[in-house]
């Protein structure tokens, strides 16, 4: 599932291409909204909220999408060949005179009133890359269940929005904690919030979605701190990476 920095970059591309432009084509290829046609209306803005994308359109409407594991939005210029996948995977087409945004394999796609956005994103905690970022609230959310593993608490978007599986491992490395440490046992837990914010801020502007990673995807490679081999395991069918020296196991 995309991390918050990837969603932020996607929103920025869509906003740059569509905002302030009048739609010349509006095509949603999902049964519930297949007859909706907003051609002629202007796109007001495209905003990220955690891992959600909110495309706001003239007339008080919002197109809500979520990429989950395989979804993607691609932006093309006039006459450019669409390369995001076969035609049967296209779920949305939003075109202006200048650009066409094509949504592929979008598992969540719905049209709602802009005033009802809280219905789909109101459950989220403070957004690490959003204007609502509040480190104090995020920390209180994380500590609400002291027995919960650090990694699980980070992934829960109700605590703070934007951390995915990659930054779970990376954040835990920065604070020198294994992801399964109960969060109530983490010394100075505010470091967790600071580290997560630092990681997403540093990576959201990196070109092409490239990231500087300390441990994720580096099993068997030397730890950038101590040189010990990075280890990998699976939790909830997702890979977790850590350094056994810098991130010692909690004492029993």
Pick the catalytic residue from 12, 41, 232, 238: 238
Is 222 known to be catalytic? no
Please state the length of the chain. Answer: 252
Is 56 known to be catalytic? no
Q: Which residue has the tokens 């959310």?
A: 141
Pick the catalytic residue from 3, 91, 168, 218: 3
Pick the catalytic residue from 49, 51, 168, 197: 51
Pick the catalytic residue from 2, 48, 126, 189: 2
- What phi and psi, each to the nearest 5 degrees, are found at residue 174? -65, -35
User: 135: exposed, middle or buried (C-beta count within 10 Å: 0-12, 13-18, 19+)?
Assistant: middle
Is 176 known to be catalytic? no
Query: Distance between CA atoms of 181 and 150, rounded to whole angstroms?
Result: 6
Is 2 known to be catalytic? yes
Distances (CA, A) of 37 to 47, 61, 69, 161, 198: 21, 12, 28, 32, 41
Alpha helices by DSSP H, listed for the chain, are 4-18, 118-121, 135-142, 150-155, 165-174, 190-203
Query: Distance between CA atoms of 136 and 189, rounded to whole angstroms?
Result: 11
Q: Which of 11, 82, 129, 128 has the alpha carbon at shortest distance from 139? A: 128
Catalytic residues: 2-3, 51, 238
């Amino acid at each position: 599932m995309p991390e918050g920095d990837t969603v932020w970059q996607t929103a920025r591309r869509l906003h740059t291409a569509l905002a302030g432009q009048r739609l010349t084509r509006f095509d949603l290829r999902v049964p519930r909204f297949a007859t909706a046609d907003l051609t002629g209306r202007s796109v007001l803005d495209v905003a990220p909220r955690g891992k959600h994308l909110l495309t706001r359109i003239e007339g008080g409407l919002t197109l809500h999408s979520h990429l989950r594991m395989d979804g993607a939005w691609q932006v093309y210029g006039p006459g450019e060949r669409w390369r995001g996948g076969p035609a049967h995977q296209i779920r949305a087409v939003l075109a202006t005179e200048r650009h066409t945004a094509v949504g592929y394999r979008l598992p969540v796609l719905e049209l709602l009133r802009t005033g009802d956005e809280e219905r789909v994103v109101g459950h989220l905690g403070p957004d690490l890359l959003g204007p609502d970022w509040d480190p104090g609230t995020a920390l209180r959310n994380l500590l609400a269940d002291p027995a919960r593993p650090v990694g699980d608490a980070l992934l829960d978007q109700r605590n703070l929005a934007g951390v995915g599986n990659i930054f779970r491992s990376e954040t835990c490395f920065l604070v020198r904690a294994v992801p399964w440490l109960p969060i109530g046992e983490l010394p100075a837990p505010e470091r967790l919030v600071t580290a997560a914010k630092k990681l997403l801020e540093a990576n959201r502007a990196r070109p092409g979605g490239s990231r500087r990673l300390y441990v994720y995807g580096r099993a068997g490679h030397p730890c950038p701190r101590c040189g010990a081999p990075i280890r990998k395991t699976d939790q909830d069918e997702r890979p977790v990476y850590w350094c056994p020296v810098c991130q010692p196991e909690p004492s029993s």
